[in-house]
Amino acid sequence: MREFWIIFKQAFMTKAKTKSFIITTAIAVAVFFLLANLPNIIGMFDDGEEDVLHIVDESGELAPLLQDQLAQMDSSTQAMPTDMTEAELQEGIMEGTISAYIVLTQGDSLGARYVSESASEFDNSSELQNAVQNMQTARMAEELGLTSAQLGALFAPVEFERESVSENAKSEEELSQARGLVYILIMLIYIAVIYYPNMIAMEVATEKSSRVMEILISSVSPVKHMFAKIAGIGMLGILQMMIFGLAGFTALKTSGSDLSEGFFSVFGFGDVRISTFLFAVLFFLLGYFLYAVLAALLASLVSRTEDVNQLMLPMMMLIIIGSLIAFSGISMPDATYVTVSSYIPFFAPLVMFLRVGMLDLPLWEPLLSIAIMLATIGGLGWFGARVYRGGVLMYGSAQSLKDIRKALKLGNTK
Amino acid sequence: MSLEIIDATKRFGDFTAVDRLNLEVAEGEMHGFLGANGAGKTTTFRMILGLLDPTEGKVGWKGGPINYSNSPEIGYLPEERGLYPKMKVEEQLVYLAQLRGMNAQDAKHEATRWLERFEVPHYAAKKVEELSKGNQQKIQLVASLLHKPSLLVLDEPFSGLDPVNVEMLKAAILDFQKEGATIIFSSHRMDHVEELCDKMSILDKGKVVLDGSIKEVKRSFGKKNVRIRMDQDIESLSSVPGVEHFKKVPGGALFQVADEAVAERLLAEAMKFGMLRHFSIEEPSLEEIFIAKVGKAYA
């Protein structure tokens, strides 16, 4: 056990101390803070740049009504009555001193004409249209002698709800809340099962190509070496994820944004079940161990670090297929292919997590999937250790999956 | 016997890398391995280290098998140099010694001592890849014996070193032997084997073709070299019965003869030519023995 901890510490420390690790972590943390404060930052650029909308109103009655209406709508548009003629205003627009103006006319109904430099600047025209429409409604209501209660009843919104009858399904409301978070967590698991096992593969290949491997495995059994390394890098992954989690949480808390409204409502942070996070951690760990063992096995076959990517390709394909199923499954988590692949160990870390996050599954389903994954990790570990034992002694030019057989033979005890 | 290899055979598929190898190395002895590329040296070393299990036969150390439980007693310098290129020298030495059961503090202390002995203490904080090949080799040797193993396996320890450094490493290895370590090593330089080893084995195609103490090997080889220096042309002496090889050298000639009786005859014949400036009977060099036994020059 002593050697296990020495290798564990070494694998963890050397990686944690590298510039690339520190920089990647710092950048990610910075991005979290940036994203969390995005609404504030956008707001910063909006302020003070409000252009004034000039109102041409011959009657002189309509302009204050429009201003009132815009104020009621919380609009950012600043509207001001003007004495300038249309010709002067148009000149102003051409010169760039005036951004837009609106001409209000009173006939049987209200009329409005919005003029700006180009058609693409109609960004607030729909808002203006609503405002003018409201003015018209209020005026007509007054003419018809409707009370405000009658008016309210006239415009009362209908109730429209969606429900699904499937047992597993969450209500539409719950779904849209869970969707954003599950999406982000799947993304994180996906990145983690690619990033950390790749780190293992590079480590193993570097040790092999620099031939220090021969010294290592003459000191410590290759199996111990392999698992200590996987555990060490795994610890590194947990640390990094914890930093990310903490940074994300702090960033959101300190940004002063309301998490359940506006920009963040998309992610559904408003009402989060703690079990979703627990499952995310669990599936991250299982996915990591599964792919780390596979990566160590494959990397033990190469002689040069340049060959690692080639041999890792089949493994990457598995992860990518899993992620495709998971991402497509976000919109239909109870599709049959999603259900089936959530029990296939190589896809389960992503797909079963998706199902757990999006559906109300009976507990035995994720547990069964976890059991299958654990069994696969055990089997791969046993098999991988045997390949590893022979593989690390093999130095050839051609590397392919066929070499697994050669490695097994070489590593064979008898 | 401290190291014992009994009838060890290692086959890879149809290929027999090592064929019924027998070897005994006494405690505190230094044993040299000679053999062309592919003769089975590295496979033998890997079996001794327990990296490979013999297909047949067995390898034992102090009466028991060699496995990871006696890893602290064993030190290894592989033929292909292996260190972490990006790790600092001292950090690396301490790490590797820790894996061999040493505690970090002792390892650090010993590392400093060895770096000083090899006149490279200023490399402690440098990355291995920044060092010259010769200096990397010194670090590699330190890594193999830092933890004070009682069995040291050195695969080509002197390759790629300049003569000054070879002497420095040789002295260190001899000192280490004096402290009681059993040492097995291979070298492509016969003179190193001759100078350092008590006993030796020549391997060819996985088989031991010759082994024993250097003296024994030379004596049993039988043939001697005769060096004669005189002014007269003595090429005709090559026809003396028992002379197997004749080579003209500046100021005289070198003969290879079947035994000492032929040498005496050669002396008598040479004296007939005139004044003899020099006559000596020399032991054959290991190189000559190797060529005679393996049938080709040692690469």
- What's the CATH code of the domain at B90? 3.40.50.300
Mean pLDDT (whole number) for A162-175: 58
- Domain hosting B164: range is 3-212
The string of pLDDT tens digits covering residues A192-233 is 899 999 999 998 888 888 888 888 888 888 888 889 999 999
The string of pLDDT tens digits covering residues A22-47 is 998 999 889 888 887 777 777 666 54
Q: Is the pLDDT of residue A268 over 60?
A: no
Please indicate, yes or no, if residue B292 is contained in any of the structural domains: no
Please indicate, yes or no, if residue B288 is contained in any of the structural domains: no
Local confidence band at B89 (pLDDT 50, 70, 90 cut-offs): very high
Please indicate, yes or no, if residue B77 is contained in any of the structural domains: yes
Q: What is the CATH number of the domain that holds B241?
A: 3.30.70.920
The string of pLDDT tens digits covering residues A102-144 is 888 887 778 888 887 766 554 667 778 888 888 888 888 878 8
Please indicate, yes or no, if residue B295 is contained in any of the structural domains: no
Instruction: Identify the residue with better confidence: A118 or A189.
Output: A189
Mean pLDDT (whole number) for B26-54: 86
Q: Is the pLDDT of residue A74 over 80?
A: no
> Which DSSP string do the residues of A93-127 spell out, in sequence order?
HHHTS--EEEEEEESSSEEEEEEESSGGGGGGHHH
Predicted complex ipTM exceeds 0.85: no
Say if residue B75 is in the same domain as residue B171.
yes
Instruction: Return the number of CB contacts < 8 Å for A and B.
Output: 63
User: Rounded to 5, what percent of chain A is helix, strand, coil?
Assistant: 70, 5, 25
The residues in B 134-163 lying below 8 A from A, measured between CB atoms, are 143-144
Say if residue B59 is in the same domain as residue B165.
yes
Please indicate, yes or no, if residue B84 is contained in any of the structural domains: yes
> Which DSSP string do the residues of A339-385 spell out, in sequence order?
HHHTTSTTTHHHHHHHHHHHB---THHHHHHHHHHHHHHHHHHHHHH
**Are B172 and B157 contacting, i.e. CB atoms less than 8 angstroms apart?**
no
Of the candidates B78, B80, B99, the beta carbon closest to that of A220 is on B99
**Are A258 and A38 contacting, i.e. CB atoms less than 8 angstroms apart?**
no
Say if residue B93 is in the same domain as residue B12.
yes
Contacts of A106 (CB under 8 A, 6+ apart): A59, A61, A62
Local confidence band at B299 (pLDDT 50, 70, 90 cut-offs): very low
Quote the pLDDT of residue A292. 93
Q: Does B76 touch chain A (CB under 8 A)?
A: yes
**Which residue among B212, B234, B263 closes a domain?**
B212
Contact A211 B78 (CB under 8 A): yes
Quote the pLDDT of residue A49. 47
CA distance A286 to chain B (A): 28
Say if residue B250 is in the same domain as residue B110.
no
Q: Does B12 touch chain A (CB under 8 A)?
A: yes
The string of pLDDT tens digits covering residues A319-365 is 999 999 988 888 888 888 888 988 999 998 999 988 888 887 888 88
Question: In what order do the strands lie in the sheet containing B151-155?
Answer: B74-77, B151-155, B182-186, B30-35, B199-204, B207-213
Quote the pLDDT of residue A120. 56
Least confident of A268-282, A300-314, B259-273: A268-282
Say if residue B12 is in the same domain as residue B56.
yes
* SS3 of residue B15 by DSSP: strand
Local confidence band at A272 (pLDDT 50, 70, 90 cut-offs): low
Q: Does A385 touch chain B (CB under 8 A)?
A: no
**Which residue among B212, B245, B275 closes a domain?**
B212
Say if residue B186 is in the same domain as residue B48.
yes
- pTM for the complete prediction? 0.74
Say if residue B180 is in the same domain as residue B232.
no
Local confidence band at A8 (pLDDT 50, 70, 90 cut-offs): very high
Say if residue B148 is in the same domain as residue B196.
yes
Best mutation site among A12, A14, A208, A212 for testing chain B: the one with the most B CBs within 10 Å? Answer: A212
* SS3 of residue A400 by DSSP: coil
Please indicate, yes or no, if residue B30 is contained in any of the structural domains: yes
Say if residue B97 is in the same domain as residue B17.
yes
Say if residue B164 is in the same domain as residue B268.
no
Say if residue B104 is in the same domain as residue B160.
yes
Please indicate, yes or no, if residue B93 is contained in any of the structural domains: yes
Quote the pLDDT of residue A50. 53
Q: Is the pLDDT of residue A311 over 90?
A: no
CA distances, A104 to each of A73, A98, A124 (Å):
19, 18, 16
**B249, β-bridge pairs:** B252
Contact A214 B82 (CB under 8 A): yes
Local confidence band at A172 (pLDDT 50, 70, 90 cut-offs): low
Q: Is the pLDDT of residue A168 over 60?
A: no
Contact B78 A3 (CB under 8 A): no
Contact A219 B82 (CB under 8 A): no
Say if residue B124 is in the same domain as residue B259.
no
Q: Does A394 touch chain B (CB under 8 A)?
A: no
Q: Structurally, how many domains does chain B consist of?
A: 2
Task: Please give the Cα distance from A52 to A70 (Å, whole number).
Answer: 13
Contact A216 B99 (CB under 8 A): yes
Percent over 90 (pLDDT), chain B: 16
Quote the pLDDT of residue A165. 59
Quote the pLDDT of residue B296. 60
First CA to last CA across chain A, in angstroms?
A: 26
Quote the pLDDT of residue A51. 67
Local confidence band at A254 (pLDDT 50, 70, 90 cut-offs): confident
